[in-house]
Structure 1
Amino acid sequence: MSTNVIVREYARLTTAPVPPDNLDCAHISETAFDWLCDLSASFNRAGATLLQVEGRQSLKWDSYVGVIETPCGTRLEILPKHFEQGDCVVKSRTLLRKLIQAALFLKPRQVSVTALELFDAPLTEWVMGQYLNELDALVKRGIRFDYTRVEEERPFLRGQLNVVAQLRQPPGRQHQFQVRHDVYLPDRAENRLLKLALEQVAKVTQLPANWRLANELRALLAEIPASRRVAQDFRLWSRDRLMAHYGAIRPWCELVLNQQMPVAVQGTWQGVSLLFPMERLFENYVQQSLGKQLRPGVELTAQTSQADLCLHGDRGVFRLKPDLLIDTAEQRWVLDTKWKRIDQRNAEHNYNLRQSDFYQLFAYGHKYRNGGNVPRLVLIYPYWAGLQRALPVFDYGEGLQLWALPFDLEAGCLVDAEVASVPLVGRALGAVRG
């Protein structure tokens, strides 16, 4: 029997009894607790932190969001810690879906705005539903067939006679013909992958609408075999113009088959696994949003690595990689995103800012100068009740300044961008929700 547990980032997971409906603390079984401890150890060996063990009964989750399923049937859904009021679960699921779409360049297929607002299923059901909708649209448009070479024995000639095989026929079978011919079939790499993803969705979905559509599509694609070599078939996936209508479904297929997971759960257990580092989702969403709002002629570069912190002999050491660079002919902006709550009401403790972030931006400011011009430094934090406006400017001296700006995830805009003269179009400047 499966158990669904919903929490937020940095929540405590414990085997002790806890009050229900608490997104920051939840009860899990001892078997799920032990499995998560083993999983955390594998993450630590890979240099990542999934959770922290606090005693024998408690775990503290880190900043990963998504869904993970344990072998004992516990399905853990981790949502972003962003909303404090109202129905946090519904709003957080909506936000997480939007961030994942932006991070993986996915284009969801929704029948209407009403359907989008009413859809409040777990993340995995949303992914499977999007995949099924894309597959349904593809089947209605027509799946791609291809010629497959078949070599067989026939009592009559069909196609081309395989002369070498025919000469090797034993006595008494010379009346049978060894032939080769082409058959027009849907058995090609793309369709095999789609069938494998469809089979997996049909097995694990718990939403009636998804289950019904999955089985309808299974009947329509019954003649297509499921892929047995996933990685090889993805390499064979054609991207020519005749396969352009397959482009929309590929990211969803990769998501279902765990081929496009920012974090893949390794091991023999192959349960539901959709884990994303929240820092990366936030960074990618900011990048895409700003890229759409820049003025004409402004250049945006993501994850550049043009400079090193210092030289050691003839080589550079400690590569400096700011999240975003914005360049015009006269000025450069160096921007770094931080998924951390900054509180503008807590000035006596430096607004909860990290000193290491300011050292990092100080190094960027000296190493990413655009010619002789001093760049403008910007730290971007999520907008919330404690950070609704830009903080007062931080001055390093010698013309080097840093601004801490909030980014509104719901509106998709950088608030008070004009104080740092970030070259955005007018409608994107200073937008604040009422």
Structure 2
Amino acid sequence: MSKAVVVREYARLTFAELAENTLDRAQITASAFRWLVELGQQFRANGLVLLELDNQQWLRLDNFVGVLESPCGQVIEILPKHRSATNCIDSARRLLCKLICNALDIKSRDSSHASIERFDTALPEWLMRQFLQELDFLFKRGLRFEYQRIEEQQRFLRGRLDVQKQLRQAPGREHLFHIQHDVFSADRPENRLLKTALLKICVTTQDSENWRLAHELQSLLHDLPDSTDITDDFQRWQDSRLMAHYQAIKPWCEFVLNQHVPIAVQGDWRGLSLLFPMEKLFESYVAVELSRALANLPGRGNELRPQLASHYLCSHLQNEIFRLEPDLSLRLASSNQAYQRWILDTKWKLLYLDSRDKNYGMSQQDFYQMFAYGHKYLNGQGTLVLIYPAWDKFPANAEPLHFSFSSDLQLLALPYDLEDENAAKNLISSLQQGIKQASTAAA
């Protein structure tokens, strides 16, 4: 198996000889390079951009993060680009795992102090570790068994005799009985899928702790058959009250078996491959954290609404076209019982405070978009907010950037520190203070 390479968003990959791999440039096998090019064409056919082919030897990744495993065994781990330093692999992995858990509303069992302080596990091994830990916990709770009806011929009576089949018994076989009986067995779709995922980890993992735990658990499932139809067994996975303790392991099982994961790599090859668009992970995380922070604020009437879609840019022949869909709408109650409302949009882009002559790296298209949101959702009066990830050149303690569309319509650009648990609370405080500063600046 080829050595795994670790890169980050927008990195360049090649099969040519390189002196050293870095987070922004790495060498992969020629077969993996060809596979990536074909995969990029499949993404483009679905309206997505996975990579750009610079020439016949180099390709540039886009803003998808996750892990890819080619048929030749080349593993490519793609991390978020939220730090300028080149030694930020551990923090980037930790951030990506937190965003994945948040976006899919699943809980990680890596909650010990040691796992928080030192995170040096590759993403594929982390995914497998989560599955193994959940499976170990499931064994302690107990596997779910069910009664299964067995129909067979035996030399003895057991259960119920099938009289009709027995009367039609062929001559010379009267000594055999057609019987029906129930067996209390663990052979059910959920357990078969767990067995299949566990077998895959046993032959895939390169982490000693994962290997040890996987083989220990395999011995407990030795008599259970694996799944012969993964898709059908997932469709038959029950979500009843009696199966509630199975719900925590289901997402991790889907990850390992490459089923129903966001933009999972499809096809005949079933390596441990999954990708996430980083802007969607960022948007989802900010929305969830703001919702939690809002629930702890005093007063009534506070509201956060995601994914608005009630207004269109224009109409044509009595039909509205070009729907406007801002990420979030935030409403807060003030001390005088009035309400303040903001339209928020998240942007996974790095701003540069030292690059004012280039508009800090902001996109003119984003401002056109926000201008339309302001007129359609705020009637041209109020404050719009662009939320960017905090990093070295746009730190979390930076003052909001103020922009004015008119004397009545303002825009704020705020940093959001993904590694700060109080970032959502701080952002709300910045909004409450920023609207006063924006009004002063406009005047």
Give the TM-score normalised by structure 1: 0.91
**In structure 1, what is the equivalent of residue 316 of structure 2?**
312
Deviates more, 1:167-176 or 1:61-70: 167-176
1:63 lines up with 2:67 in the alignment:
no
**In structure 2, what is the equivalent of residue 350 of structure 1?**
359
Gap change, CA 1:149 and 1:351, over 3 Å in 2? same
Aligned residue pair count? 421
**In structure 2, what is the equivalent of residue 155 of structure 1?**
155
**In structure 1, what is the equivalent of residue 289 of structure 2?**
289
**In structure 2, what is the equivalent of residue 115 of structure 1?**
115
The amino acid across from 2:150 in the alignment is V
Deviates more, 1:304-313 or 1:187-196: 304-313
1:297-352 deviation digits (Å, cap 9, x = unpaired)? 42222223222222333443222221122234623221111110111221122111
**In structure 1, what is the equivalent of residue 438 of structure 2?**
none
1:420 lines up with 2:431 in the alignment:
yes
Deviates more, 1:26-35 or 1:281-290: 26-35
Name structure 2 gaps, 5 residues minimum: 334-338, 435-443
**In structure 2, what is the equivalent of residue 403 of structure 1?**
412
Q: Tell me if structure 2 keeps the 8 A contact 1:146–1:185.
A: yes
Distance in 1, matches of 2:200 and 2:382, equals: 50
Distance in 1, matches of 2:309 and 2:227, equals: 39
Identity of aligned residues (%): 50
Q: Tell me if structure 1 keeps the 8 A contact 2:400–2:413.
A: yes
* 1:398 positional shift: 5.5
* 1:146 positional shift: 0.6
Distance in 2, matches of 1:115 and 1:45, equals: 40
Match among 334, 350, 354 for residue 341 of structure 1: 350
Q: Tell me if structure 2 keeps the 8 A contact 1:368–1:375.
A: no
* 1:30 positional shift: 2.2
Match among 360, 377, 392 for residue 369 of structure 2: 360
* 1:168 positional shift: 2.2
Distance in 1, matches of 2:76 and 2:58, equals: 15
Distance in 2, matches of 1:6 and 1:316, equals: 46
* 1:19 positional shift: 3.5
* 1:191 positional shift: 1.0
**In structure 2, what is the equivalent of residue 432 of structure 1?**
none
Distance in 1, matches of 2:7 and 2:216, equals: 34
**In structure 1, what is the equivalent of residue 257 of structure 2?**
257
* 1:284 positional shift: 1.2
1:145 lines up with 2:149 in the alignment:
no
* 1:116 positional shift: 3.7
**In structure 2, what is the equivalent of residue 376 of structure 1?**
383
**In structure 1, what is the equivalent of residue 327 of structure 2?**
323
Distance in 2, matches of 1:199 and 1:240, equals: 26
Match among 385, 391, 400 for residue 392 of structure 2: 385
Distance in 2, matches of 1:249 and 1:422, equals: 43
Gap change, CA 1:373 and 1:394, over 3 Å in 2? closer
1:368-396 deviation digits (Å, cap 9, x = unpaired)? 24xx7945311110001211224332222
Deviates more, 1:338-347 or 1:105-114: 105-114
Deviates more, 1:230-239 or 1:357-366: 230-239
Q: Secondary structure at the match of 2:4?
A: strand
* 1:53 positional shift: 0.6
Q: Secondary structure at the match of 1:3?
A: coil
Give the TM-score normalised by structure 2: 0.89
* 1:183 positional shift: 0.9
Deviates more, 1:82-91 or 1:57-66: 82-91
Name structure 1 gaps, 5 residues minimum: 424-434
Distance in 1, matches of 2:374 and 2:400, equals: 19
Deviates more, 1:355-364 or 1:173-182: 173-182
Q: Tell me if structure 1 keeps the 8 A contact 2:256–2:272.
A: no
**In structure 2, what is the equivalent of residue 231 of structure 1?**
231
Q: Tell me if structure 1 keeps the 8 A contact 2:13–2:58.
A: yes
Gap change, CA 1:340 and 1:139, over 3 Å in 2? same
* 1:124 positional shift: 0.4
**In structure 2, what is the equivalent of residue 426 of structure 1?**
none
For the aligned residue pairs, the C-alpha RMSD in angstroms reads: 2.1
Q: Secondary structure at the match of 2:228?
A: coil
Q: What are the residue-to-residue correspondences of 1:30-109 with 2, within 5 Å? A: 30-85=30-85, 87-109=87-109
Q: Secondary structure at the match of 2:265?
A: coil
The amino acid across from 2:270 in the alignment is Q
Gap change, CA 1:266 and 1:259, over 3 Å in 2? closer
Gap change, CA 1:163 and 1:360, over 3 Å in 2? farther
Q: Secondary structure at the match of 1:6?
A: strand
Q: Tell me if structure 1 keeps the 8 A contact 2:40–2:50.
A: yes
The amino acid across from 1:303 in the alignment is Q
The amino acid across from 2:384 in the alignment is L
* 1:232 positional shift: 2.3
1:27-72 deviation digits (Å, cap 9, x = unpaired)? 2232222221111111111111111111111111111111112222
Distance in 2, matches of 1:366 and 1:165, equals: 77
Distance in 2, matches of 1:267 and 1:304, equals: 34
1:149-173 deviation digits (Å, cap 9, x = unpaired)? 1111123332222233223222222
Distance in 1, matches of 2:427 and 2:246, equals: 41
